[in-house]
Amino acid sequence: MYPSSLEKLIEAFRLLPGVGAKSAERYALCMIDASEEDVESFAKALIDIKTKLKTCPVCGNLTEEDKCSICADESRDHSTICVVQSIKDIAAMEKTNEYRGVYHVLQGLISTMKGILPEDLNIQSLLDRVSEDTKEVILATNATMEGETTALYLDKVLSRKGVLVTRIAYGLPMGGHLDYADELTLIKAIEGRKKL
């Protein structure tokens, strides 16, 4: 229906998660109307993420430098490590402006059904990183079967190192209603209750 160059662009957009045929077509047609400068800028941004970005050797976050900006920041509390599943989780935590420690990205979760085992994740570098200077490791994996399995495994291996291991709290979201919450959320909310 369209010239081959446009069809190729539509197919390229379809590679993105959550982008269906109609959205991909709309994005491709939008590029036709964009200025040549905007298209070149878009293409350069795509190339740059493949040529400039690398993984921080300390925590697994993305960086263009030797270390990510969080690991390089001396004002942060390097004795507290928050373990997350992916780099997106760091962005979510940073939006709170509350956490001032550092992070460790697992790059996935343990899932025997998907064939993902502890050795497939960025766990050994976490174990190597934890030292006598480490006061606390916060496990901030998702509240899913895989997230819980990963948290239990990490608690077991980190406890051998004598470090305090904590888990982020779960429960009702702000503005949430009890009658809309599922049983597991309510159970976690009751378990995680605290004194006012």
Query: Which DSSP category does 185 fall into?
Result: H
| DSSP-assigned beta bridge partners for residue 139 | 83, 167
pLDDT in the model for residue 176: 72
Query: Domain 4-52 class?
Result: mainly alpha
User: CATH topology for 75-167?
Assistant: Dna Topoisomerase Vi A Subunit; Chain: A, domain 2 (3.40.1360)
Give, for all 196 residues of the chain, the pLDDT tens digit: 899 999 999 999 999 999 999 999 999 999 999 999 999 999 999 999 999 999 999 999 999 999 999 999 999 999 999 999 999 999 999 998 889 999 999 999 999 999 999 999 999 999 999 999 999 999 999 888 899 999 999 999 999 999 999 998 877 677 777 677 777 777 777 777 766 5
pLDDT in the model for residue 157: 96
Query: Model's pTM, two decimal places?
Result: 0.82
Alpha helices in the chain (DSSP H): 4-14, 21-33, 36-51, 69-72, 87-94, 124-129, 145-159, 183-191
The H or E element spanning position 140 is: none
pLDDT in the model for residue 180: 74
Same fold, 4-52 and 75-167: no
Domain parsing of the chain, residue ranges:
4-52, 75-167
Say if CB 13 and CB 23 are below 8 A apart.
yes
Query: 10 Å Cβ neighbour count for 10?
Result: 20
Say if CB 74 and CB 117 are below 8 A apart.
no
